Amino acid sequence: MTSGCGWQLAKVQSAPPGKSGGDLYVYTWESYVDPQLLTDFQKRHSIKAISDVYDGNETMVAKLQAGQAANYSILYPSEYFLKKMVDQGLLREIDETELQGIEGILPALADKGFVDGKRYSVPATWGTSGLIYNSEKIPGGLTDWIDLWKQKDKLNRRITMLNDPREVLGVGLYALGQKLGSQNDPASIKRSYEKLLELKPAIAAFDTDAWRDRMLSGDVWVAHAYSTDAAEVVKDNPKFRYIIPQSGASLWVDTMAIPVSAPNIEAAYDWINDMLQGDVVAGLNDRLSFAPAITSAVEKLPPEVRQNPVLFPSKEDLAHCETMPPLSEAAEKTIDSYWTKLLS
């Protein structure tokens, strides 16, 4: 995710316990919902939509597990998190007969959203996780993750990393010449953790969103970021560059899902169906820069947007990307353990 894309957010309003009414509560990444989208949804369906936000899949799942999210009817989990959520009984199977426009999903994403052959979510957007840097501060540029280690003295306290254990430990693996599939190997995760410890003194923070203001102010020179967020910063500031590192990067897909506790299932399908309409999603792209998951929306984007390499990487850059692999329960515990150590 995505998280993670614009500065204008719907006013955050947590779902009040025990009260569902006719409102639709959407639990999403900080930058996937904006005021116009919520207003338009209410005009179309006479249902008030209210957004609440999280900064990582782990935060979302923890809230669901704690029973604090009984009023949410729409979630935006990353595709690689679906199996975990399904195995824990957190998601409702999607009834495809209720979907209008599902056939328009981009061919490359057509197989996303399924667990054991059953659909549990619908792709909403996709992107990469790479590096954005200030070319005035780093005139020689960056080409790969290992450059952070090579320039760590110059970049001391000028680096931020995502607040995401799998993304960050994946960076450590890439710096070691390995791939994301090694996340299921405890020995590889340990080596990744040790490699990241070498870089940690140069890291100013682990955050998913706050890096943007810090980079614009000059406090941060390089950030591990989602492409959707980077696109907003690069668009208005030509001195910033976004790269997909040569050794590899994650290709993520954020999806729309309905929790088993959803109080307003009909409105949830209304929301998903709206997000399967090209006009709705293309309009949203004008405000929140991200790559749509439906063909009709991509076709409606202006040429300069479709040709934006941050949002729509070249085949050569995409060849360096890979999706997150499913994790065994043991591997998940190992990653959580080393993540806690890294942050301490």
Whether 237 and 272 share a structural domain: no
* pLDDT band per the 50, 70, 90 thresholds, residue 209: confident
Residue 231 lies in a domain: yes
Q: What pLDDT does residue 1 have?
A: 58
Whether 200 and 266 share a structural domain: no
Whether 119 and 171 share a structural domain: no
Statement: residue 13 has pLDDT above 80: no
Residue 4 lies in a domain: no
Residue 75 lies in a domain: yes
Count of domains forming the chain: 2
Statement: residue 6 has pLDDT above 60: no
Whether 167 and 300 share a structural domain: no
| Cα–Cα distance measured from residue 272 to residue 294, given in angstroms and rounded to the nearest whole number | 12
Whether 53 and 105 share a structural domain: yes
Whether 216 and 114 share a structural domain: no
| Cα–Cα distance measured from residue 276 to residue 293, given in angstroms and rounded to the nearest whole number | 8
User: What's the whole-number average pLDDT of the chain?
Assistant: 91
Whether 133 and 194 share a structural domain: yes
Statement: residue 315 has pLDDT above 50: yes
> Is residue 240 within 8 Å of residue 132, measured between CB atoms?
yes
Whether 195 and 282 share a structural domain: no
Count of C-beta atoms within a 10 Å radius of residue 236: 8
Whether 338 and 218 share a structural domain: yes
Say which amino acid occupies 25: Y
Residue 15 lies in a domain: no
pLDDT in tens, 95-146: 999 999 999 999 999 999 999 999 999 999 999 999 999 999 999 999 999 9
CB-facing half-sphere around the CA of 145: CA atoms within 13 A: 27
CATH classification of the domain holding 157: 3.40.190.10
Domain region containing 70: 24-126+252-311
Q: What angle do CA 65, 60, 170 make, to 5 degrees?
A: 115
pLDDT in tens, 240-253: 999 999 999 999 99
| Cα–Cα distance measured from residue 78 to residue 164, given in angstroms and rounded to the nearest whole number | 12
Region 80-108 average pLDDT: 95
- Across-strand partners of 105? 294
Whether 198 and 147 share a structural domain: yes
Region 293-316 average pLDDT: 94
Tokens 């509560």 belong to 25
pLDDT in tens, 58-78: 889 999 988 877 889 999 999
Residue 16 lies in a domain: no
- Across-strand partners of 161? 206
Whether 216 and 335 share a structural domain: yes
Whether 189 and 218 share a structural domain: yes
Give the predicted TM-score (pTM) of the model: 0.87
Statement: residue 94 has pLDDT above 50: yes
Residue 19 lies in a domain: no
Residue 13 lies in a domain: no
Residue 261 lies in a domain: yes
